[in-house]
Structure 1
Amino acid sequence: MKRLRSTWSVLVRDHETSATFSVIVACVYVAFLVWAHAHHEAWRDEIHPWIVAKRAQGFWDIATGDRIYDGHPPLWYWYLRAWTWVTHRPWGLHAANIAVMGAAALLLLRYGPFARVLKIGLLASYQITFEYGVVSRNYGLGLLLVMVFCVQFHPLRPRLVTQAGVLALLCLSSVYGTIIAASLFITLVPLGLRARLSTAPTSFDVSLNPRLVIAGLLLLGALACCIYTTTPPDPNPASPGWNFAALDVTTVGAAARRMVITFFPVRFFDGPRYWGNVWAFWGEHQTVLTVVTVAMLLLLPASLIPPWSQALVLYFGAGLMAIVQIARYTGGPRHWGHWVILYLALCWISRRLYPRRRHLLSSVILTVTILFQFESLLAAVGRD
């Protein structure tokens, strides 16, 4: 019994005093990624950015050239361009993504304010490890930048300009990265404001940290750069534009259900349409799906309270993602997974703001999410 308690205390420890555990688990994780990449043939949307980066005339050509038709900001392409200095062979793409995800895993393991068992479980999840770890896309780079932001988040010692710089890079990783960056910037606003209540005479003063203004301008500049570098100069028949008329109760409800199957995916180990059939299980249990959807819309924000601002940030970011999916491009699991990333980041920030709270509800939600995600990871690796 004593040994069992000792093992349990090691697994639930949420504060690392040394790098030993983090480095060992990160090395195991990287070894798994190397094995998985060795058995994964790059898909078209993976190899295309590598070819663009390799054949570009330089970094400016990447920002203004044909890449502008791809719908993604240039950061991932710039990163791959740097790797082409090492090799022009396709394995450079795999090495680039493994390096990104290895760094993200190390930051999560070393600095994440979660129990060790949760951190290991997150690295065994379908969204993080397969969609962003095995499949080499720009979204893994966005995940790394979110981790960097969370590591730098200190309520008592805010680094407003530095963190805004990280969010600016996040804006240049993907459109969904831009949404997450805008959402996380809101968490910095209270740190840049200082309120003072005086009783004689009664007055309430609010002062603004000039660094918050600089941070906001930096983020706005990155947002403008994202829009400029993803908008083709001529009509693009493959991109029909925004359709805000599609926003109604039905489509919003469908987006909410997509969020549920993203947190709690169920995939089968057989079947010819594994990759496209994400609704296979939940589509046969619509009543259960509706109940779980309503529960998640209430429990996810509730798990972040206090402060109330965390719940509002979650609704803001998740709502913007839903609008993009409805009015522009529905996307797939690689896009929907940013709901999970945003929630994970807000859980991290909540634990930094209130380190003495137990955060039981969010821990339960993350645990259930990990169990579903692990099943999908096994199915994905087996089918890849």
Structure 2
Amino acid sequence: MAVIVSAIDEPRSAKLGKAMIFMVWLALASALCWSETVWRDEVRALSLALQGDSFIDMLRQMHGEGHPALWYILLRAAYVVVGSPVVLKVVALTVAAAAAYLLVFRLKLPLSVMLLSLFSSFAIFDYAAMSRNYGISMLVIFLIVLSWEKGTRNGILLGLLFALLANTNVHSVVLVGGFLAYWFFDLVLARPRSPLTKYRAFATAAAIAAVGIALCFATVYPTFNDTGQNDLSGENFALLALRALALPSSHFMAFYPNSILELVVAYPLASHIFAALMSVLIYGSLLALADRRPAIIAAALVLLGLSLLFTLVYPGGYRHQALWLVFMIAIIALSPRSQREEAGVADIEAAGGIVRFARLCFPILLALQVVSGIEKVNQAFVAEIPFSRSKDFGAFMQSRPDLKDAVIMADPDYLVEALPYYVSNRTYLLREERFGAIVRYTTNARLSLSLADILLTAHRLQQSEHVPVVILFSQRLDQITAPVSLRESYVWRLSLTPEDISAFQSATSLIKRFGATAGSDETYDVYVMK
């Protein structure tokens, strides 16, 4: 195991260099954070956190949302102090800054891995500027590394950190399993044999972690978002599981920058080539750990666990996939190359050329994340294309005093979830036929809608509420010339016909159209009922 210490004996120049590196990261991450327009998944968490009259009420109402409670508790606690939605950005950036500090100053990593990790897309944007719960996972993982002491490990402390990690997000439960696997195989494969006291510390940590995992699942299940899962009807469960085990790298294509992903979409042949290259990089990264058998077993189990989760429960986005990269960083910090198991060293040395090649794979993977980070910086400060138009919409609404009391509805419904950060107008959910700012992805809703249904609902609201009714569409209705049935969200359908579009346009006025976004569908055509 690595000794993770503050580098007391580091030269002054090295400390100054690290301080400058950290300050560059902090300036960049802060600029991205404050320039980023929050989108629905970020504001949804804040809306959930502010439910109820107390923390207990909030926890009761968020039960079944799909995420454990830690992120919501942090947001509500910060809101109690600050009293402003800005806590969403403050908490996310603070958590990310703490993790970045540990990465730079405390984790014992090769300089190249530290730098590439620090300026990767997940470290400067997805876990910092993007206000989500996944940045907490990175912080807790690094705290676990710091607590992984040489010699005797504190089972209670590590168990509590494992339990905390399990309650950051469901995906991190897999990471907890990875850490426990690393610890277990480190004990089993150790020579000479580990004393019984070390097994007791492991058992203590595993027991506390199990309680944390149980708490996570008790908070998440049963979910009220019953449509927000993979539809496995008609699928062979065993075949799906075997496919996930055989080709886990296929679930991690988001490790490529957007420029490559666009090429993959445009050219099907390229998709096979880049999928094969991703397999080489991922399996090569694992092979680089071959001289540390507990490490390669743990990293492989996390890779397979996440692949099964993406296949059988919920498809994984970049924020989920990048957790494997963070776990790999932790494993590297815990297992310096200088420490090798005696068993199998001769075989590794015989295949030294392959292993040396494999050790290039993980830095290449991290370099790809840096390219993705550069793309994010370019979008924010050069192209100036926001992730969402919700901020622009909020500014537009504030410029229209005649709409200050308007009810806002949207198709798809989830377009309204980002709005409470910027406007105070009431929002109405078409599918569930209720006022609210939190969409429930449930089968107990209107799964199919027509434009005529939306117009009828708008008329009814206008008559009952006696206020203007604003309707947002992500679709450009004037570009549709034939009947279509559009799939939205997981199982929603929207039916459009030229006749219904004509009737809708006669009853409404198009008052604003917003431009393109970078990575989301949160742009709007804004209509108001006549």
Same structural fold, with TM-score higher than 0.5 when normalized by the shorter chain: yes
- Whole-angstrom CA distance in 2 between matches of 1:302 and 1:310: 10
- Whole-angstrom CA distance in 1 between matches of 2:17 and 2:123: 20
> What is the CA RMSD across the aligned residues, in angstroms?
3.3
- Which of 285, 288, 291 aligns to 1:306? It is 291
CA, structure 1 residues 98+91, in 2 after alignment: closer, same or farther (shift >3 Å)?
same
Tell me the SS of whatever aligns to 1:247. helix
Provide TM-score, normalisation by structure 1: 0.81
How far did residue 278 of structure 1 move?
Answer: 8.9
- Which of 152, 159, 163 aligns to 1:164? It is 159
- Whole-angstrom CA distance in 2 between matches of 1:153 and 1:38: 35
Letter in 2 for 1:74: A
Matched, 1:247 2:240: yes
Match of 1:41? 37
How far did residue 315 of structure 1 move?
Answer: 1.6
- Whole-angstrom CA distance in 1 between matches of 2:194 and 2:147: 28
Alignment of 1:316-327 (within 5 A): 316-327=301-312
CA contact 1:255–1:326 (8 Å) conserved in 2 = no
Letter in 2 for 1:372: L
Moved more, 33-42 or 229-238: 229-238
- Which of 248, 254, 267 aligns to 2:258? It is 267
* C-alpha distance after superposition, 1:256-297 (max 9, x if no partner): 2232x344x13239xxxx9xx594478552342343244235
* C-alpha distance after superposition, 1:235-263 (max 9, x if no partner): 8344467773561555556642232x344
- Whole-angstrom CA distance in 2 between matches of 1:129 and 1:361: 28
Letter in 1 for 2:259: F
How far did residue 50 of structure 1 move?
Answer: 1.3
- Which of 330, 333, 338 aligns to 2:315? It is 330
Match of 1:292? 277
* C-alpha distance after superposition, 1:29-77 (max 9, x if no partner): 2221221122111110011111221234333333332x22321100111
Matched, 1:103 2:98: yes
- Whole-angstrom CA distance in 2 between matches of 1:195 and 1:248: 32
- Which of 256, 277, 286 aligns to 2:249? It is 256
Unaligned runs of 5+ in 2: 1-5, 346-351, 380-385, 387-530
Match of 2:401? none
- Whole-angstrom CA distance in 1 between matches of 2:53 and 2:293: 49
Match of 1:200? none
Match of 1:207? 196
Match of 2:365? 369
Alignment of 1:13-32 (within 5 A): 17-18=9-10, 20-32=16-28
CA contact 1:167–1:181 (8 Å) conserved in 2 = yes
Larger of the two Rg values belongs to structure: 2
- Whole-angstrom CA distance in 1 between matches of 2:144 and 2:314: 27
Matched, 1:227 2:221: no
Provide TM-score, normalisation by structure 2: 0.60
How far did residue 231 of structure 1 move?
Answer: 0.4
CA contact 2:159–2:207 (8 Å) conserved in 1 = no
CA contact 1:152–1:163 (8 Å) conserved in 2 = yes
Unaligned runs of 5+ in 1: 1-13, 198-203
Alignment of 1:35-114 (within 5 A): 35-65=31-61, 67-114=62-109
CA contact 2:264–2:274 (8 Å) conserved in 1 = no
CA, structure 1 residues 245+278, in 2 after alignment: closer, same or farther (shift >3 Å)?
farther
CA contact 1:23–1:106 (8 Å) conserved in 2 = no
CA contact 2:122–2:319 (8 Å) conserved in 1 = yes
CA contact 2:71–2:133 (8 Å) conserved in 1 = yes
Which is helix-richer, 1 or 2? 1
- Whole-angstrom CA distance in 1 between matches of 2:55 and 2:263: 37
- Which of 207, 216, 226 aligns to 1:236? It is 226
CA contact 1:165–1:218 (8 Å) conserved in 2 = yes
Match of 2:506? none
Matched, 1:188 2:173: no
* C-alpha distance after superposition, 1:328-355 (max 9, x if no partner): 1112111111221222221222118729
Tell me the SS of whatever aligns to 2:258. coil
Equivalent pairs: percent with the same residue? Answer: 18
